[in-house]
């Protein structure tokens, strides 16, 4: 009898260890679930037999092309293969990944299964053998791709690691216009390299000071721009040029002629890297920078439940910035509390922190790239150059002069929130979006029938606020510029027709400016200003020498290519010693 009881007990324990979804089975059929993805509804269709999940398909979605391709392909396949919802999300497309998993979980419940039982934790980390190379590059955005290609072209064996599921990083999110002079598309008659250099300095002085930048680095960027464009054309990039119409800009922005923008550049760069023999490891996260006797020896990476070392004499940090790391943002730029990140999801800065802990110095001036203002997306208001005031009730800038706005929106954050002031006529252009949002008690919007009441609702002194708005409105119906800051009359957005709206506007954080210090040739510098042997940085990871508060359009992508080439060449030369 005891043996029988023991047998029954063991059998009960074995059955208890089997996931309930399998024990109970499914009701065969095809089930559909719709959930919220990153950009809107995402619908998944899941087919079940009585015992297993037969197929998972994303049948409709509005996710970002390129970034969403990998999770839409990989996660359904992984669910079917593992018969489990305990699959890894795709880095850089976490929201899309989680949406697919959530939709399949709903389908499991519809089919009579237990979704919770399919979400068991992953197993232990498996240690793999080390990989040996000359140069390892961390981050496969435009800077990392450039650095890897340059190192390979200079004779090095190169491994490029990227924690996300695709290459490109922030390059996938940009139009990727490149500022350059004395190229075949922008001859010296249009703009010389010296004029380009001086133009950049003028824009820096407009929002900050050239005392806070590295003039030799900016000079190098401008004077190498034609060579950089030629290098890209040698890979098959074909450009057309134009102006984006700011700060008396000449038609010096180089765009891909086929209109594929940043994504097209990423594709060309990735193909060039592979053709040059660069080994690209996706969904591979750097978890440690390794150093012995003050020299870099490589990195440690993780892939799902696998961990291994990549031994290399030279390490290039091209991981981007830290716009999506709230702790780092607050620590390095406290004013960032008034900002909304629209940066690449992989911009989390952990590798920069690793370098800093080994001794890499931060640039003294850290700030974020503000590419305009935004409020809650439901309002439909974004970067409108109308009346913008802070909590003093006063305007701060020429709202139509975007670079000034970029700088001042951050500088005055201590007197935030910042409000955009609009009226009924302006709202009509957005099909009444402000009115609808106000009726829905949107926390970003205040509405009132008078300017005095609007000021009170915002906690602003009515007398000061009304005087500010009336001064702005005083030139309506004329051809005169704004009397306070000189906004051209044809670019002014007047607020004269009730009801009036005050919309909280937050600076858009498209990336960080600063990072860790480096030389023009890419070598990372420590707290004492000395070179850290074998460690290099480029792109957004180390761009603090180029900017002070404002941003000069077309220079970020140019810097990714220029600094990437420089760092790659230097790293290859050192590895060859």
User: How much is the mean pLDDT over the chain?
Assistant: 87
pLDDT, tens only, 209-260: 899 999 999 999 999 999 999 999 999 999 999 887 555 568 899 999 999 9
Q: Report angle CA 88, 93, 95 to the nearest 5 degrees.
A: 85
Position 374 scores a pLDDT of 60
Please give the residue that has the higher pLDDT: either 244 or 189. 189
Question: Which three-class secondary structure state does DSSP give residue 542?
Answer: strand
pTM as predicted: 0.78
Which long-range contacts does 391-395 make (Cβ < 8 Å, 24+ apart)?
A: 391/415, 391/416, 391/417, 391/458, 391/459, 391/460, 392/460, 392/461, 392/464, 393/455, 393/460, 393/461, 393/462, 393/464, 393/465, 393/468, 394/464, 394/468, 395/468, 395/472, 395/484, 395/485
Position 553 scores a pLDDT of 84
Mean pLDDT computed over 61-88 = 87
* Cα–Cα dist 389/419, whole Å: 5
Question: Which three-class secondary structure state does DSSP give residue 154?
Answer: coil
Distances from the Cα of 71 to the Cαs of 101, 130, 321, in angstroms? 10, 28, 24
* Cα–Cα dist 505/444, whole Å: 8
62-66, 432-436, 559-563: least confidently modelled range: 62-66
pLDDT, tens only, 526-543: 999 999 999 999 999 999
The per-residue DSSP string of 316-374 comes to: EE-----TT-HHHHHHH-GGGGS-EE-S-TT---HHHHHHHHTTBPBPS--EEEEEEEE
For the cut 70, the answer to whether the pLDDT of residue 411 exceeds it is: no
pLDDT, tens only, 139-182: 999 999 999 999 999 999 999 999 999 999 999 988 899 999 99
Mean pLDDT computed over 104-131 = 84
CA-based nearest residue to 278, from 128, 155, 172: 155
Beta strands in 243-319 (DSSP E): 253-256, 279-281, 285-292, 295-303, 306-311, 314-317
Helices assigned H by DSSP within 183-224: 193-207, 215-223
Question: Which three-class secondary structure state does DSSP give residue 279?
Answer: strand
For the cut 90, the answer to whether the pLDDT of residue 517 exceeds it is: yes
Mean pLDDT computed over 35-59 = 91
Distances from the Cα of 54 to the Cαs of 50, 84, 187, in angstroms? 10, 12, 60
For the cut 80, the answer to whether the pLDDT of residue 491 exceeds it is: yes
Please give the residue that has the higher pLDDT: either 423 or 6. 423
CA-based nearest residue to 358, from 198, 191, 534: 534
Strand partners, 46: 31, 56
* End-to-end Cα spacing for the chain: 77
Q: Cβ distance 58 to 44 under 8 Å?
A: yes
Structure tokens at 543: 């761009």
Mean pLDDT computed over 562-576 = 98
* Cα–Cα dist 505/495, whole Å: 17
pLDDT, tens only, 494-515: 999 999 999 888 777 888 999 9
* Cα–Cα dist 320/142, whole Å: 10
Helix then strand then coil, in percent of the chain rounded to 5, is: 40, 25, 40
Helices 193-207 + 225-233 axis angle, to 10: 110
2-11, 66-75, 351-360: least confidently modelled range: 2-11
Question: Please, which residues have CB within 8 angstroms of residue 440's CB and are 6 or more apart in sequence?
Answer: 378
Helices 402-411 + 193-207 axis angle, to 10: 40
pLDDT > 90 fraction of the chain, expressed in percent and rounded: 64
Question: Which three-class secondary structure state does DSSP give residue 554?
Answer: coil
For the cut 60, the answer to whether the pLDDT of residue 51 exceeds it is: yes
């Amino acid at each position: 009898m005891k043996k029988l009881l023991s047998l029954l007990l063991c059998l009960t324990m074995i059955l208890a260890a089997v996931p309930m979804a399998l024990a109970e089975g499914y009701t065969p059929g095809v089930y559909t679930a719709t959930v919220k993805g990153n950009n809107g509804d995402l619908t998944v269709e899941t087919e079940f037999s009585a015992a297993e999940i037969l197929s998972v398909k994303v049948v409709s979605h509005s996710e970002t092309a390129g970034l969403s391709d990998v999770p839409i392909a990989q996660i359904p396949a992984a669910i079917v293969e593992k018969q489990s919802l305990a699959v890894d999300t795709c880095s850089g497309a976490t929201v899309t990944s989680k949406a697919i998993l959530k939709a399949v979980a709903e389908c499991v419940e519809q089919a009579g299964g237990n979704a919770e039982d399919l979400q068991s934790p992953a197993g232990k980390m498996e240690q793999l053998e080390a990989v040996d190379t000359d140069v390892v590059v961390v981050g496969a955005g435009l800077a990392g791709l450039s650095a890897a290609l340059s190192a390979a072209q200079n004779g090095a064996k190169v491994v490029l690691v990227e924690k996300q599921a695709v290459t490109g990083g922030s390059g996938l999110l940009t139009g990727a216009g490149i500022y350059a002079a004395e190229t075949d598309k922008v001859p010296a008659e249009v703009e010389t390299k010296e004029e380009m250099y001086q133009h950049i300095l003028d824009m820096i002085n407009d929002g900050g000071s050239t005392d806070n930048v590295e003039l030799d680095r900016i000079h190098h960027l401008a004077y190498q721009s034609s060579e950089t464009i030629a290098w890209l054309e040698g890979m098959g990039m074909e450009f057309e040029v134009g102006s984006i119409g700011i700060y008396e800009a000449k038609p010096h922005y180089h765009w891909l002629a086929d209109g594929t923008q940043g994504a097209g550049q990423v594709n060309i760069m990735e193909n060039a890297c592979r053709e040059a023999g660069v080994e690209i490891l996706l969904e591979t996260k750097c978890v440690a920078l390794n150093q012995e006797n003050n020299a870099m020896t490589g990195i440690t990476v993780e892939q799902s439940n696998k961990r291994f070392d990549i031994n290399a004499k030279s390490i290039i940090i091209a991981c981007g910035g830290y716009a999506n790391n709230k702790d780092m943002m607050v620590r390095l730029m406290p004013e960032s509390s008034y900002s909304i990140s629209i940066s690449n999801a992989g911009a989390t800065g952990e590798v920069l922190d690793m370098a800093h802990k080994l001794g890499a110095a931060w640039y003294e001036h850290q700030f974020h790239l503000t590419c305009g203002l935004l409020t809650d997306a439901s309002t439909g208001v974004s970067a409108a150059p109308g009346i913008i005031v802070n909590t003093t009730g006063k305007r701060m800038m020429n709202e139509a002069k975007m670079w000034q706005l970029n700088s001042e929106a951050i500088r005055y954050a201590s007197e935030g929130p910042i409000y955009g002031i609009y009226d009924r006529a302006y709202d009509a252009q957005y099909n009444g979006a402000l009115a609808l949002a106000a009726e829905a008690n949107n926390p970003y919007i205040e509405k009132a029938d008078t300017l005095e009441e609007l000021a009170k609702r915002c906690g602003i002194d009515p007398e000061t606020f009304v005087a500010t708005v009336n001064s702005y409105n005083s030139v309506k119906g004329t051809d005169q510029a704004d009397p306070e800051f000189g906004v051209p009359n044809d670019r002014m957005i007047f607020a004269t027709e009730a009801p009036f709206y005050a919309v909280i506007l937050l600076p858009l954080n498209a990336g960080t400016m600063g990072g860790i210090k480096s030389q023009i040739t890419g070598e990372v510098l420590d707290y004492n200003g000395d070179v850290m042997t074998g460690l290099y940085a480029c792109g957004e990871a180390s761009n603090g020498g180029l900017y002070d508060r404002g941003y000069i359009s077309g220079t970020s992508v140019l810097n990714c290519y220029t600094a990437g080439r420089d760092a790659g060449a230097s790293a290859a030369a050192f590895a060859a010693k």
